[in-house]
Structure formats: C-alpha cells, structure tokens
Amino acid sequence: MTEKSYTTTSAFPPLTPGKIRIYSMRFCPYAERTRLVLHHKNIEHEIVNIDLKQKPSWFWDRNPNGAVPIFELDDKVIYESLICSDYVDEAYPNNKLTPSDPYRRAQDRIIVELFPKVVSFFYKIAYGKEVSKEAITGFHEALDRVEKALADRGTPFFGGSAVQMVDLMLWPHVERFDAMTQLVKEASVPADRYPKFTKWIENMGTVPAVQKCRWDTPSHIHFVETAKAGKPDFDVGL
C-alpha cells in the first residue's frame, strides 16, 4: 500500500478483513498519538494517508469532521485521537497503557486536558505570521503547569516509572517543539525553567514506539514552512 496521500480523485483502497486501518497524515500529531499506541502494543495495521487539502469523498463518509486520525476495522469506524487511542488500549489488552485505578486514570486525563492550552500557543507560535509577546508568555505559563504536574509526580514519565497513555498523548506536539524553537527563538524551552520536562523529553526519546513514529526537526520545519505557504508537503521524500 502506498504511503502517498490519497486525494479527491483516488479510488477507495479496499479493506482487508480483520486488518486495522488508520487514516492518517504523515505530519499529523493527532494521528501520531494513535500510531504510537499501535506501535507500543505491536499491533499490525495499515496506514492510508490523506491529502487534507483534497479529501476523498470516502474519507468524509468515515468522519464528518474531515479530520485524521480515523480507525477502521471491518465494520467499526472510530475517530478523534484520544478516543481511537483509548479504544485500541481497551480492545487489545497486551502492553496496557492505561492504569486500572480509576482515580489514577482521572489524574492522568487531567494532565492530557491541561495540554491543549500549550498546544494552542504552539500553533500560534509555529504557524503564526507574526508571533505576539502574549503567545510566547501564554505558552510558557501553560507549560509551567505541565512542569509542575511532572514535578509533583516525581517520576520519569507522567504515567510513572514506564511510559503510559498520558505520555504518548502529550508526546507528538512536544516532538515539534524543537522545530518551533528553531523557527521562533523566543519560544525556547530552557532546561533551567523546565528541568523535569526536559528530562522527560530525553526519556521519551528512548521509547521504541517514539523512535519508530518520530520525524526529525528538519522534516518538521519543512512541513511547517510548506504549510504556512499554503502548500503543505504531505508527501515529502516519497
């Protein structure tokens, strides 16, 4: 199956019975969440990349929001990255990523829900035409809360001594911070302000699923620059 993105004119690639398919875009951080979970759990799957500027009608049929990721298996279709990721973790119990204790699960979800604030400033900074002081300040203030959450836990991962769902849900945007920092110097994430978070980034770099799914910083920069120019290079290198 091709990695190249499917567009308006592409015929629907037939499903294989019993095989998981993820509709994705190679640089989408949300799709990366679900791909990380699948890799962590060693679950075989196929990827259908979508040209998000020219979406096929069969893609819209599967998600009226027109967004990736979408999970599909036989007659099951699920979208939204957190929901797809939770579903995979529940339906395939090996290498469980979610704590069985409901209180702990709730605490982890609080951290995941803390992150959209950081992410919204990340997009303003990395993709904005002009970057305001407020965006930089907002980014740092939101990230301070994440640093505090990690310091309060006192563990190498948000999820404890080993990587958990909470870590994998935060990671994809953080992977892009280095690109953001190179594009906008004032948005750097200094180790003296974020010591625990800096160490967490290092720890995440040792996780096999992260190594498998990640892009390097020059590739992220290329994607951001082409997206800002209105022509996102979905198929770079293919």
Among 5, 20, 21, 30, binds ligand GSH (CB under 6 A): 30
Q: Rank residues 139 and 223 by Cβ distance to ligand GSH and give the closer one.
A: 223
**81: contact with ligand GSH by CB under 6 A:** yes
> Nearest approach, Cβ of 148 to ligand GSH (angstroms)?
24
> Nearest approach, Cβ of 24 to ligand GSH (angstroms)?
9
d(CA 219, CA 224): 9
Q: Rank residues 29 and 99 by Cβ distance to ligand GSH and give the closer one.
A: 29
Nearest C-alpha neighbor of 24 from the set 58, 54, 59: 59
> Nearest approach, Cβ of 67 to ligand GSH (angstroms)?
3
Site string for ligand GSH, 37-76 (x = CB under 6 A): ---------------x-------------xxxx-------
47 to 44, 112, 146, 209, 230: CA distances (angstroms): 10, 25, 32, 16, 24
> Nearest approach, Cβ of 118 to ligand GSH (angstroms)?
15
**Cα dihedral sign for 84, 88, 89, 91?**
positive
Query: Which residue spans within the chain are E strands per DSSP?
Result: 20-24, 45-49, 70-73, 76-79
d(CA 231, CA 203): 34
Q: CB-based burial of residue 211 (10 Å sphere; 0-12 exposed, 13-18 middle, 19+ buried)?
A: exposed
Q: Rank residues 48 and 140 by Cβ distance to ligand GSH and give the closer one.
A: 48
Among 10, 13, 80, 138, binds ligand GSH (CB under 6 A): 80
**111: contact with ligand GSH by CB under 6 A:** no
Which residues are near ligand GSH by CB under 6 A? 25, 28-30, 52, 66-69, 80-82
